[in-house]
Chains A and B, each alone.
Chain A
Amino acid sequence: MKIKRYGVAAFALAAAGALVLTGCTTGGAEPTAPAGDPEAIITTNGSEPQNPLIPTNTTETGGGKIVTSLFAGLVSYDAEGAIEFDVAESIESEDSQHWTVTLKEGQTFTDGTPVTADSFVDAWNYGALYSNAQSASYFFDNIEGFSYTEDSELTGLNVVDERTFTVDLVAPEADWPLRLGYTAYFPLPEVAFEDIEAFGQNPVGNGPYMFAAEDAWTHEEKIDLVKNPDYDGVRTPVNGGLTIVFYTSQDTAYADLQAGNLDVLDAVPDSALATFEEEFGDRAVNQPAAIFQGFNMPFYLEHWGDDEEGDLRRAALSMAINRDEITDVIFQGTRQPASDYTSPVIAGWTDSLEGAEVLEYNPEEAQAKWAEAEAIAPYGDTVLDIAYNADGGHQAWVDAVANSIANTLGIEAVGKPYPTFAASLDDRENEKLTGGVRAGWQGDYPSMYNFLAPLYRTGAGSNYEGYSSEEFEKLLDDGAQASSVEDATALWQQAQEVLLTDLPTIPLWYSNVTGASADTVDNVVFGWDSVPLYTEITKG
């Protein structure tokens, strides 16, 4: 038993390089400067949650940062993405497949009811149930009893006693505990199941913050949270609360920060990328985040098939893109050229994969490869387009990438804007793209696996362009079932080497999180998920 316990801890260690997990981590990160008014309210930017605040139905960032503030899961993530036990006292397994979870004593929801094993099992069952149509339902698909097509109970969840439950997975998964800080795995109080819609408007949680009052959520405007006095975990706030103001434009949020109406901003708009570091000095944040960006050339396009010609052309494209220049000029150094398929904040990230030279700008080699492909079948004067959704601020870099390709390979390349994400999704799903398409991924939880499986496994939800490779999948599965973290990492890196030869996605860069804070606040640290660790911010 102990062995696997430390297996989990080793994962955390690999990521954080510093933290040792013990059975009873409380009050984890001591704030370095506990100065500041414990009653002060921090204001920050956000966006209107898409759905009522039900953890299993919150998979977007707007609602995510609120739900994470309102609830505490079995574990939570520190700034580096390492896990710390939050509600859990221990999470143990001998075979990575059958897990036993024990909760700390004396945890309560803000309505006074205790946080029990049932709070988790019921919440997870609710989230997984087919007819509840929860957006995060697929997070439970590795638990025994899950079904994608009909209502079924998660038979793999069994309550042992008030504070203990067991989880049976369908297959071993070494880094399963890494997932458990994600919103989908939060507990729900009994009151939630009486009227889940109403609960979503006025949620009762067990996290560091709680609603300031009934109806503290003013739709499309803001949400007011205050410190939850009963929370006793690793994320105990040193401030009095959190007001999240909803913006539809980053420019507006930035203007508010400049005008002193906002304490903390976690997304600097394009228009200020060149100036924000100068303007905010050491109050500016520009650090790697768990966001990977690239673009896909669909295999169904003529000349881009899963064959020698396609491989040559993809490699040529990849080497025709001057990533350094684009990240420098367009993004002002707020992106970092990619060297693998994960992200620098993820344990196991590397810049020394075999075949990674395909990600380096090399015009001669790019032209040579393109010429080689031309010998197989001439490309003609087809315009190479790269599709993107115009509502996401992608135009500048897509145009720059297209220009880089055009200038290097001497072909015509342009960006192809779709007005909305829906429209681009439609053409992707129906295989009606006429060229490349932007592809991006932000990690749900800090694991390499989360950057690979949902995107490149045959039939996976986000594998829109239908990539399929037996070799890749074998390595992926072997890694998931590996007995040690080192083995898993090594296997998953090998899996990425397969991707580098097939290039189902041509990696471009990792996004940094860019943010800044006003001089009213101190100790602003951004987490691995690009969200500031609100509980540690001091003010006044």
Chain B
Amino acid sequence: MPDSIDTTTSKPRPEHFVAPLEETPLEAIDTIKAEGKPSNLWIDAWADLRRRPMFWISAALILIIVFVALFPGLFTNEPPNSNCQLANSNGAPTEGHPLGFTRQGCDVWSRIVHGAATSLSVGIIVTTLVFTLGVLFGAFAGFYGGWVDGLLSRIGDIFFSIPYILAAVVIMSVLANYRNVWVISLAIGVFAWPVTARVLRSEILRVKNSDYVTAATAIGVSRFKIMWAHVVPNSIAPVIVITTIALAGAIVAEATLSFLGVGLPTNIMSWGNDIAQAQTTLRTAPQVLIYPSIALSLTVFSFIMMGEVIRDALDPKARAQR
């Protein structure tokens, strides 16, 4: 959204309307219908989500992937990186090796199983980083406005204007000797947060003049507390959505960095590395490329699908469209 769109000027304000007293007795307003179900955005969204098959499919996929990542030993007996025999190079599946072998003669299935943890960790660490930075910057910029907004938004612009893949390439080169899951997550995340900040900021701009904020101010709640207790929770919905999608983006980014030659070292199992390496045997042994690609795409797909479903569920307009 543009910085300072003034949408109020041209909208005709409704005439001040006062309800005739006799129509709604005061007591009636004060009565709370206690037996009715409480309703808010989250409860509505959950009610909506529960009815969607897409939600359950993606949730199940994500759970499976998380389970594989946590307990790889349950799915394969083969350690991922040892006993790679060149004699098996690009070999067909055999007993105990259901997906065959890589170019180096390592077991494809075991590498995929052990790679899940890496992809997920990168996804989660990046997302946490992006979420934290994005919410901090977005919340302060949106809520306080003025020079705080100016400063924080410009900082955001600086990071946003440098494409994060290129930035990650540089960071990974700088920290070449310390490449691990944390460093690659840092490299991806540190330039990816401005989007989150922007979304939150514009959402806060929309929300911060609501009545409940005015009310809280009136009863003397501190600005800081209002921001965290009222404004941010009420503006976070769109952030949740893009965060889910960002998680998928981070997993792809890790693979892209491997492809560009600045990814994780080869002794850390990673789908990105395996895909990048299998590229060279695309013509002769496409299966070595295809299996980790499927694993990667399926993971990314389930998070993106989850994001889409949540987005629809949180957006009353979209809900009405169905």
Contacts and interface: CB of A to CB of B under 8 A. Distances in A.
B64 interface: no
Interface stretch (B14-22, B32-40, B259-267): B259-267
A419 B266 CA distance: 13
A54 B86 CA distance: 45
Contacts of A161: none
Contacts of B82: 406
A393 to B, nearest CB: 8
A30 B288 CA distance: 49
Interface stretch (A65-73, A125-133, A322-330): A322-330
A416 B84 CA distance: 17
* Chain A contact patch, size range: 20 to 34
Interface in B80-109: 82-87, 89, 103-105
A274 B284 CA distance: 7
Contacts of B262: 390, 419
B286 to A, nearest CB: 11
B262 to A, nearest CB: 5
Contacts of B86: 322, 325-326, 329-330, 400, 403-404
Contacts of A155: none
Interface string A420-439: 10010000000000000000
Contacts of B282: 271
Interface string A388-405: 001100011001100110
Nearest to A417: B265
Contact of B284 (A275, A326, A406, A419): A275
A417 B261 contact: yes
Interface in A312-371: 322, 325-326, 329-330
Contact of A272 (B87, B172, B283): B283
Nearest to A393: B280
B177 to A, nearest CB: 8
Given A325-B86, A415-B266, A403 B176 contact: no
A274 to B, nearest CB: 5
Contacts of B261: 390-391, 417, 419
Contacts of A417: 261, 265-266
A395 B85 contact: no
A270 interface: yes
A418 B104 contact: no
A395 B277 contact: yes
Contacts of A330: 86, 89, 103
Contacts of B103: 330, 396
A407 interface: yes
Interface string A264-297: 0000011110110000000000000000000000
A112 to B, nearest CB: 48
Nearest to B103: A396
Nearest to B285: A274
Contacts of A419: 172-173, 176, 261-262
A384 B283 CA distance: 32
Contacts of A326: 86
A416 B265 contact: yes
A325 B87 contact: yes
A390 B260 CA distance: 9
B132 interface: no
Contact of B85 (A396, A399, A407, A418): A407
A423 B173 contact: yes
Given A271-B279, A395-B277, A416-B265, A329 B89 contact: yes
A414 interface: yes
A272 B279 CA distance: 11
A436 to B, nearest CB: 15
Contacts of A391: 261
Given A271-B279, A271-B283, A272-B283, A400 B104 contact: yes
B55 to A, nearest CB: 41
Nearest to B105: A403
A414 B105 CA distance: 15
Contacts of A416: 265
B217 interface: no
Contacts of A420: 173
A520 B173 CA distance: 43
A71 B85 CA distance: 49
B261 to A, nearest CB: 4
Given A414-B267, A420-B173, A399 B281 contact: no
A241 B103 CA distance: 41
B165 to A, nearest CB: 14
B276 to A, nearest CB: 9
A536 B298 CA distance: 53
A423 B172 CA distance: 12
A431 B82 CA distance: 29
B266 A399 contact: yes
Given A396-B104, A417-B265, A423 B85 contact: no
Nearest to A274: B284
B172 to A, nearest CB: 6
A303 B272 CA distance: 35
A68 B280 CA distance: 32
A418 B82 CA distance: 22
A405 to B, nearest CB: 12
B105 A396 contact: no
Contacts of B89: 329-330
Given A326-B86, A403-B104, A415-B266, 8 more contacts: A272-B283, A275-B283, A329-B87, A400-B104, A403-B105, A406-B82, A417-B265, A420-B173
6 contacts: A396-B103, A403-B104, A404-B86, A417-B261, A418-B176, A419-B261
